[in-house]
Chain A
Amino acid sequence: MNKQTSRNRPVNGRAWWVPARPAAVASGAVGALLGAMVLAGWYTESPTLTRIDPAWAPMEFNAAIGFVLLGGALVILAGGRLRWARGLGGFAALLAAATLAEYVLGRDLGIDRLLFQQPATAMVQATHPGRMPANTTLCFLIAGLGIALASWRGRSRALILATAGSMLGALALTSLSGYLLHIEAASGWGQLGRMAAHSAVGFLVLGCGLMALAWGDRDRSDADGPGWLPIPIGAAVGTLLLCASQAAADVERAQLKTSTHAAAEGIRAHLELEVGDALAPLARMALRWEEQGGIPREQWSRDAEALVRDGHGLRAIEWVDPTDHVRWIAPLAGNEAARDLHLAADPVRRAALDRARRTAKLSASRTVNLVQGGQGVLVYAPLRVDGRGGGFLLAVLDLSALFDAVLTDEVEAHYHLVVRDGDEVIYATRAPDASAPPSVGQPAAFEGAVRYAGHAWHVAVWPSAALAGAHRSSVPPLLAWGGLFMALLLGWAAHLRRRTRQQARALSLAHADLELRVLARTAELERANRELARSNAELDAFAYVASHDLRAPMRDVDNLSQWIAEDVGDALPEESRRHFDTLRGRVRRMEALLDGLLEYSRAGRVSGTPEPVDVRAVLDDVLSLSAPPPGFQVLLSSAPPTVQVPRAALEQVLRNLIGNAIKHHDRAAGTVVVEVVSHGDLVEFSVTDDGPGIPLDLQARAFAIFQKVHARDGVEGAGMGLALVKRVVEAYGGTVGLESATGAGARFHFTWPAFQAP
């Protein structure tokens, strides 16, 4: 079954199943239809179709084309015509990329009006006529790339579709909220244009279509949703928060601009008022002069000095005679340099002078360097007495005094201000902070003119960096970093989830493998155990059969030989009689061997259960069964009252060890000492004799089966005793050992695990 058919197969029995493909086709169709509608709107010049509300941004012609392309691409992709979808999506992405390049490079590549020349009415406020807004362009790029990439069938196809769809949805939602909440900044990126409301709706619909397609394409084996889900969610949340951050920053910038504008207008008006206050008395004095046909010099001086004292930037008031020489100066102090100055000698001063004469109105000169020092402006009030020129009243405005009066430190702390007289900068606030000089930065927040006496200064105002900083809140960066953080967090979550699943899968595989191996081992062990039990039983049966069936003929031989000896009686030669004795000795030995074999085969079986045993009683039983010859004594040196051991097995071991000690003793009298020490988790027994001892080289073989340490004829035995002891003790989990030196006796010891009392 290939992937295509498995993708198309509907999964029933799931309440949340979305009919993915129909949903994608429907949303694609809606998007294409929207684009076609707006195209029609441009051709019919219907603002209702292109911008819906006159106050709203229009959907550009190129954007309408993009919607037709992308909607069609989505329908075709859902229909499975991958190559066509790739072509259309790719073309839309290319168009968007070219437009973005225009924004980035700051150049017009000519694609904005390539297909359609918008009527002039439509581009009144547009910075780039016909160009799609930047956020719209980004949406087209994302959607076009998403569709084009998803047309290659790959493992991350669903992820690509879902991520593109979610980012589209986030961008569209932000723009839409700008329209709904009347926050213009939300639907556009500052100077980079504003997304049309129906563009936002169209992107929302397309985004949903992409996500529906992704949802239909997910791996259905995951019961709890696709593993990539956190990535599109992260992309959407990140985009949303970045857009919100951008909008918030935009709003803050707009607020700053508004407040700066208001403050700057106040400054401009104040300047104009100040100059007006300075010049109005001048005009009144000129009127009085003309009415009275001149003013006596003393009275004029008094009046003029009073005016200068009032301030308003006035440095001096002078009377200029008709020959353009300065004659009267009030106050004279500080202005001596101007005395008898010929004003027409300087072209700047003369220009204003001529204009005043010509227009008969107050006329201000351009800024000049005053002869008294400093920069200033000369304002001439022409005097006409009896129809003839009576000279001029001249007000000397000291710029620094004027500006100082208006531009307080508080103003300068918040704003950069540049006042130009023509090309010449006559006043510029020195930057109170380290920000760049405003004249070379962005355009001024405010520009206006200060008009007086036929002259105008140009005023430009920027907010200071400190003020801009005060208007900048931590909200936009917080939103931006929060968005990045959320996106990374969700991406990390997706990664973790994926890795955890892989590990879980590997773990469960390993677990299953382990279980299989354990099962196999267990079966193997059980088989081995059965085999062992069977061979043990066989061995027992063999030992029994051997000891019994071999014994019968041996005894028969014994009997027959005995009868022959009896029947023949004394007729039997002495040598033959001895041979008969040897024969019967060998038969008895054979029987002893068989008995030993049988006992040994049974010694390996753990049959007795531990019980509290009084060692002294056991010892008494042993001694009564195998009465030691007179001269020998068996002593129990020390023992706990009871030990927890299987009684029969202990008896067997003690019987063998004590029997051995006596049987192999080299003298007719001796002592055997039995000692029992409890060590907590085990009990140690020892049987020590004062016999001949066992040579070191023989000790290693002492516990082997059918080994007789002493090869003396006098001692009968099968050589089974110690082997039997070893077998019994080890069967119960104990150990045996031997310490001996030639001529110094032997000490056999064995341990028995101390069983828990029941």
Chain B
Amino acid sequence: MPRETVHVLLIDDNDVDVEGVRRAFRKHRFAAPLIVARDGHEGLELLREGRVPRPHVVLLDLNMPGMGGLEFLARLRADPATRDTVVFVQTTSKRDEDVVASHRQNVAGYFVKSELGVGLAKLVELLRAYLRVVTLPVGGA
């Protein structure tokens, strides 16, 4: 059964990391369309305006200028329209506080960038497997 195309919203201010994700998708032939936001504000905007077609998942960095990842999560969960969004955190921070704070906002996973393997192989593998078995919310709430 062919599944619907899942869009990936990547919120990260680091060009190199964005490029890394693009490369990884390309290298591992992961076909999901990638939409990029530079910070939390932009990400929220894109989601609220429906410019990221559902079903979608969010790859979120925590430390960003402007609106950081944790604040983005708080606003996302506070808004009924976006409350059901599936979010993976991928960040450089290994701090317990960040891990705990993120899970409190019901993230689907917390990845530390340096541990995602050569060329983000693990990330892509995980996303692919995840999207294969998990049914994502489609309609708006």
Contact = CB atoms under 8 A, between A and B. Distances in A.
A and B co-occur in one complex: yes
Given A548-B93, A551-B92, A559 B16 contact: yes
Contact of B63 (A548, A555, A560, A595): A548
Given A562-B119, A591-B114, A552 B20 contact: no
B14 A552 contact: yes
B118 A555 contact: no
Given A555-B114, A559-B16, A562-B118, A548 B23 contact: no
A555 B92 contact: yes
Interface residues of A, number: 13
> Which of A552, A556, A563: most chain B CB closer than 10 A?
A552
Interface in B55-93: 63, 92-93
Contacts of B23: 563
A544 interface: yes
Contacts of A562: 118-119
A560 B16 contact: yes
B113 interface: yes
Interface in B91-136: 92-95, 113-114, 118-119
A551 B114 contact: yes
Contact of A548 (B14, B20, B92): B92
A559 B23 CA distance: 11
A266 to B, nearest CB: 126
A646 to B, nearest CB: 16
Interface residues of B, number: 15
Interface string A538-553: 0000001000100110
Given A551-B114, A562-B118, A591-B114, A556 B93 contact: no
Contacts of B119: 562, 566
Contacts of B93: 548
Contacts of B92: 548, 551-552, 555
Interface string A517-558: 000000000000000000000000000100010011001100
Q: Is the interface of B mostly helix, strand, loop or mixed?
A: helix
A556 B18 CA distance: 11
Nearest to A551: B92
Nearest to A563: B23
A293 to B, nearest CB: 169
A544 B14 contact: no
B114 A559 contact: no
A652 to B, nearest CB: 13
Interface in A579-602: 591, 595
A595 B115 CA distance: 13
Contacts of B17: 556, 559
B113 A555 contact: yes
A605 to B, nearest CB: 13
A559 B95 contact: no
Interface in B1-32: 14, 16-17, 19-20, 23
A562 B14 CA distance: 17
Nearest to A567: B23
A544 B95 contact: yes
A568 to B, nearest CB: 14
A544 B92 CA distance: 11
Nearest to A591: B114
Nearest to A599: B94
Interface string B40-54: 000000000000000
B116 to A, nearest CB: 10
Contact of B20 (A551, A559, A591): A559
Nearest to B118: A562
Nearest to B113: A555
B111 to A, nearest CB: 13
Contacts of B16: 555-556, 559-560
A3 B7 CA distance: 101
B25 to A, nearest CB: 14
Contacts of B113: 555
Nearest to A549: B63
Nearest to A587: B114
Interface in A412-429: none
A548 B112 CA distance: 12
A563 B114 CA distance: 15
B120 to A, nearest CB: 9
A560 B19 CA distance: 9
B115 to A, nearest CB: 11
Contacts of A544: 95
Contacts of A559: 16-17, 19-20
A551 B119 CA distance: 17
> Which of A555, A559, A563: most chain B CB closer than 10 A?
A559
Nearest to A545: B63
Contacts of A556: 14, 16-17
A594 to B, nearest CB: 10
Nearest to B95: A544
Contacts of B19: 559, 563
A66 B140 CA distance: 126
A560 B18 CA distance: 12
* Interchain residue pairs A-B with the least CB separation, the first 4: A556-B16, A559-B20, A552-B92, A551-B92
29 contacts: A544-B95, A548-B63, A548-B92, A548-B93, A551-B92, A551-B114, A552-B14, A552-B63, A552-B92, A555-B16, A555-B92, A555-B113, A555-B114, A556-B14, A556-B16, A556-B17, A559-B16, A559-B17, A559-B19, A559-B20, A560-B16, A562-B118, A562-B119, A563-B19, A563-B20, A563-B23, A566-B119, A591-B114, A595-B94
Interface of B: 14, 16-17, 19-20, 23, 63, 92-95, 113-114, 118-119
Given A552-B14, A555-B113, 7 more contacts: A548-B92, A551-B114, A552-B63, A555-B92, A559-B19, A559-B20, A562-B118
